[in-house]
Amino acid sequence: MILCCQRDSFKTEFTTKVKSCKEVAASIPVGGKKETIQAYEVLLEDSVLFPEGGGQPSDHGWIDEEEVLVIERRGEDVVHTMKKPFSVGQDVKQKVDWDLRFDRMQQHTGQHLITAIADKQFKYSTTSWWLGDKVCHIELESASGNVMTDAEMKDLERVVNEKIREATPISVNVYEEGDPHLTTVRTRGLPDGFKGPVRVVTITGVEDNMCCGTHLKHLGQLQAIKLLSVERGKARGGKPNRSFFLYFLAGGRVLSRLDESLQRESQLTALLKNSPADHVDLVDKLQKSYKQCSKNLQSVLRNVAVMEAEKFKVLEPKPKFYSLHRKEAEPDFMSVFLTEVGSQDTLFFLSVGDPNGSGNMILFGDSKILEKLGPIVCEILGGKGAGKGQRFQAKVSNLKRRPDAEAAIEQFLTTPVTDANEL
């Protein structure tokens, strides 16, 4: 069955009848996870809401102002999962989230155009594609195994945008299964068990392609295509890796990315106090300066670690517990300190990082003590760590509680061994 959304992809509202309504325990996406709720599967005589297919996600929309939670195709039917029931035979009005539909039509039509030109001009065949929320990509394959070059990508972008400026017409035709014309069109094959009429999307003079998705009426509605980057694919099943991913934006997404880039450029201009043309050179200088300053700082901090160790070594008598924190230091500071003090009977509690936030810690001392004390201190500081021999180290998220950790250590060391498990 060819759906209303496939007959007219620009139709935003549609009235139809309810065929059936069944209460079910439905799994719906909530915040990136699946959640099971009591819901209703509503089947309609027809649907202006597109179910997922052809690499295009399903629409978002409403039935009589009630949000449709999930839209999916099952055989000839489209199932609309709803929170409320509808009566069989009831007339209902569907409404499409048009902004989302139009964006996805632009990306989908853009993919068809890129795929066709990449194959015709560069002999790169398409194996799959992905319509993401921000960026789309096409998986292409080359007989030689070579990845598309920068020159080829620029040439491909030029050609597809020429087609867009020509406002090349797009038409959709329906053929009965077995029609000889279907042997001449581009396809990756029909889904298993597919029966019924076949839609063919034609970009005049560019390609014919079997497709169930929604599309624009002409390439001028694409506005523009921007090819972003190429990334080599991963080898699968021990076969030679001949695939790569081509990332792209189409239509309104190009304008959105341009707007974001201009805003960032304006902010950088204000921060760097130079013209956009000089941003790269100045940032390069700042990075080199930062690296040198960081290198100098770490060298100074290593010297400070040695000095702190010397301060400890002159202490008489040596304390049973010694605590030290350095907010601006890296973990290397603690290692240098411990190397310099050498073997001692003292239990060391060392930390580096933001005194009100996250950082790193080391407990150094008797392994039997650390086995019990390490997890206690780690929990107080909100960290994850592990011990080995005389060292227990961890990344922690709450150095603000360092005084509590020191108190716990002192209590542990002054508590008789038989009672230590009560801490």
Which CATH number is 374's domain given? 3.10.310.40
Per-residue pLDDT reduced to its tens digit, 401-420: 999 999 999 999 988 654 44
**Are 126 and 60 in the same domain?**
no
Interval 384-412 mean pLDDT: 94
Residue 362 in tokens: 């080391």
What is the C-alpha to C-alpha distance for residues 189 and 184, in angstroms, rounded to an integer? 12
Interval 69-98 mean pLDDT: 94
What is the C-alpha to C-alpha distance for residues 337 and 360, in angstroms, rounded to an integer? 14
What is the C-alpha to C-alpha distance for residues 5 and 77, in angstroms, rounded to an integer? 13
Please provide the DSSP assignment of 73-130 as one string.
Answer: EETTEEEEEESS---TT-EEEEEE-HHHHHHHHHHHHHHHHHHHHHHHHH-PEEEEEE
Task: Give the confidence band of 336 by pLDDT, cuts at 50, 70, 90.
Answer: very high
* Number of other residues whose CB lies within 10 A of the CB of residue 126: 22
pLDDT of residue 237: 63
**Are 209 and 162 in the same domain?**
yes
- Sign of the CA dihedral running 177, 178, 179, 184: positive
Residue 244 in tokens: 């790569």
pLDDT of residue 178: 83
Instruction: Please provide residue 111's backbone torsions phi and psi, each rounded to the nearest 5 degrees.
Output: -65, -45
pLDDT of residue 193: 58
pLDDT of residue 185: 86
Q: Which of 224, 257, 290 is the last residue of a domain?
A: 257
**Are 44 and 121 in the same domain?**
no
pLDDT of residue 228: 98
The three-class DSSP label of residue 419 is: helix
What is the C-alpha to C-alpha distance for residues 156 and 117, in angstroms, rounded to an integer? 7
Residue 200 in tokens: 């063919």
pLDDT of residue 40: 96
**Are 71 and 204 in the same domain?**
no
pLDDT of residue 422: 47
Peptide bond into 29 cis (omega under 30): no
Mean pLDDT of the chain: 92
**Are 92 and 106 in the same domain?**
no
- Chain centre to alpha carbon of residue 314: 54
pLDDT of residue 145: 86
Interval 255-282 mean pLDDT: 95
Domain annotation covers residue 171: yes
**Are 133 and 85 in the same domain?**
no
pLDDT of residue 415: 82
**Are 134 and 91 in the same domain?**
no
Interval 377-382 mean pLDDT: 95
Residue owning tokens 């108190």: 407
What is the C-alpha to C-alpha distance for residues 418 and 423, in angstroms, rounded to an integer? 11
**Are 176 and 252 in the same domain?**
yes
What is the C-alpha to C-alpha distance for residues 188 and 193, in angstroms, rounded to an integer? 15
Interval 10-19 mean pLDDT: 97
Please say whether the beta carbons of 399 and 380 come within 8 A: no
Per-residue pLDDT reduced to its tens digit, 270-280: 999 999 999 99
Strand partners, 201: 172, 209
Q: What percent of the chain has pLDDT over 90?
A: 81
Q: Which residue has the higher pLDDT, 318 or 195?
A: 318
Among the ranges given (103-107, 188-192, 279-283), the one the predictor scored with the smallest mean pLDDT: 188-192
**Are 235 and 112 in the same domain?**
yes
Which CATH number is 25's domain given? 2.40.30.130
pTM: 0.76
Residue 194 in tokens: 């597919």
Task: Flag whether pLDDT at 109 surpasses 90.
Answer: yes
**Are 134 and 229 in the same domain?**
yes
Number of domain units in the chain: 3
Domain annotation covers residue 285: no
Among the ranges given (33-37, 237-241, 265-269, 283-287), the one the predictor scored with the smallest mean pLDDT: 237-241
Domain annotation covers residue 275: no
Task: Flag whether pLDDT at 305 surpasses 50.
Answer: yes
Q: Which of 38, 62, 96 is the last residue of a domain?
A: 96
Per-residue pLDDT reduced to its tens digit, 172-223: 999 988 888 888 887 766 665 567 789 999 999 999 999 999 999 999 999 9
Domain annotation covers residue 213: yes
Domain annotation covers residue 106: yes
Domain annotation covers residue 128: yes
Task: Give the confidence band of 28 by pLDDT, cuts at 50, 70, 90.
Answer: confident
Task: Flag whether pLDDT at 423 surpasses 80.
Answer: no
Per-residue pLDDT reduced to its tens digit, 115-124: 999 999 999 9
**Are 110 and 77 in the same domain?**
no
Task: Flag whether pLDDT at 382 surpasses 60.
Answer: yes
Domain annotation covers residue 289: no
Which CATH number is 206's domain given? 3.30.980.10
Task: Flag whether pLDDT at 355 surpasses 50.
Answer: yes
pLDDT of residue 144: 87
Question: Domain range spanning residue 145?
Answer: 102-257
Instruction: Please provide residue 192's backbone torsions phi and psi, each rounded to the nearest 5 degrees.
Output: -55, 135
pLDDT of residue 191: 60
**Are 114 and 89 in the same domain?**
no
Domain annotation covers residue 185: yes
Q: Which of 78, 96, 114 is the last residue of a domain?
A: 96
Among the ranges given (129-138, 178-187, 300-309, 351-360), the one the predictor scored with the smallest mean pLDDT: 178-187
